[in-house]
Amino acid sequence: MPDQFPHGVRGTALWSQVDALLDRRAQEVGQAALDVLDVGGGSGVFAVPLAMRGHRVTVVDPSPNALATLKQRAAEAHVTSRVEAVQGDAASLAMVVEVDSADVMLCHGVLEVVDDPQAAVAGIVACLRPAALASIVAAQRNAAAIAKAVGGHLEEARHLLEDPDGRWGRSDPLPRRFSEVGLTDLLTNSGLVVDAVYGVRIFTDLVPGPLVDDATDVRALAALEATAGRMPELRALAGALHVTAIRE
Ligand SMILES: C[S@@+](CC[C@H](N)C(=O)[O-])C[C@H]1O[C@@H](n2cnc3c(N)ncnc32)[C@H](O)[C@@H]1O
């Protein structure tokens, strides 16, 4: 992997969108170091690099194992003083995090696994400062249906498209996958104003790994992904949607 892709080719476009969000908020509040809340931040894949850039990051996650890994990563990166690991649940976030306390909130890969996504979003919004920016990533159903179909699992592909929760069947380990309208409605119903929607993992999930076997290919795939993710007509094929939003 070329050095300019520290987050892997699948994570590069998302990271640049998150960076842009942080830069924008820093300009708005006139401070380089922001209070970032990473809900379901797990082992710190985002939290630790953000703390290394000087932000104060609070990770709330119900998993003690993930939080232990987070603390270890933060220690190894010498950012323990800027990373707070809190055990808690998105739906009752205000019990463990001050209300109106975050400048930027990340909620990546969480809304598809929580018990009640509406309660989770409401819990998160309560902890954002007015005009705070939010970055939400959630699994999208279309890409899962395409993957099932090209794998020959046609019944499961149809089920994914017809099921209200976007699941391929009873043994699907994921509680739900979203349509774009379903996800944006969920957010706007809780007082967030959608700012932009990007597709995440359009071509990175479709192009077979063995075809991307040198640095030139990796760079080309990352550039293709960055362009495609901004195109509304292509983001319906994305494995996940990245929504940026503003607290009213
Ligand atoms: C797929 S991982 C995503 C981790 C991280 N956000 C990332 O993008 O790498 C989902 C995370 O959500 C956490 N989670 C599950 N239920 C949650 C809840 N009710 N509230 C907050 N986080 C939750 C899990 O423990 C796990 O760390």
The residue contributing the CA closest to ligand 1 atom 1 is 109
* Residue ranges covered by each domain of the chain: 9-140+178-247
Residue 12 has pLDDT above 90, yes or no: no
For 115, the 3-state DSSP assignment is coil
3-state secondary structure of 31: coil
**Residue 178 per-residue DSSP state:** B
Mean pLDDT across 39-51:
96
**The pLDDT value given to residue 3:** 58
Of the candidate ranges 10-14, 142-146, 147-151, 244-248, the one whose mean pLDDT is the lowest: 10-14
Tell me which of 22-36, 170-184, 215-229, 233-247 is least confident. Answer: 215-229
CB-ligand 1 contact for 89 (6 Å cutoff): yes
Q: What is the pTM of this model?
A: 0.95
Average pLDDT, the chain: 94
Choice from 10, 113, 116 to test ligand 1 binding pocket (greatest atom count within 8 A of CB): 113
What is the pLDDT averaged over residues 51-72? 98
Average pLDDT over residues 28-36: 97
Confidence of residue 8 (pLDDT cuts 50, 70, 90): confident
Q: What is the pLDDT of residue 31?
A: 96
90 lines ligand 1 (CB under 6 A): yes
State which CATH number among 3.30.2090.10, 3.40.640.10, 3.40.50.150, 2.60.120.640 fits the domain covering 9-140+178-247: 3.40.50.150
Mean pLDDT of 58-84: 98
Nearest-atom index, ligand 1, CA of 66: 27
- Ligand 1 binding pocket includes 39 (Cβ within 6 Å): yes
Q: What is the pLDDT of residues 86-140, one digit of tens each?
A: 999 999 999 999 999 999 999 999 999 999 999 999 999 999 999 999 999 999 9
Q: How far is CA 235 from CA 33, 94, 131, 199, 202, in A?
A: 32, 33, 26, 4, 7
Give the pLDDT confidence score for residue 6 in this predicted structure: 67
Band (70; pLDDT cuts 50, 70, 90): very high
Going by their DSSP bridges, the two strands 192-200 and 35-39 should be labelled as unpaired
- Is the pLDDT assigned to residue 1 strictly greater than 60? no
The per-residue pLDDT for 212 is: 85
Structure-block tokens of residue 188? 């706007």
And the tokens for 11? 């994570």
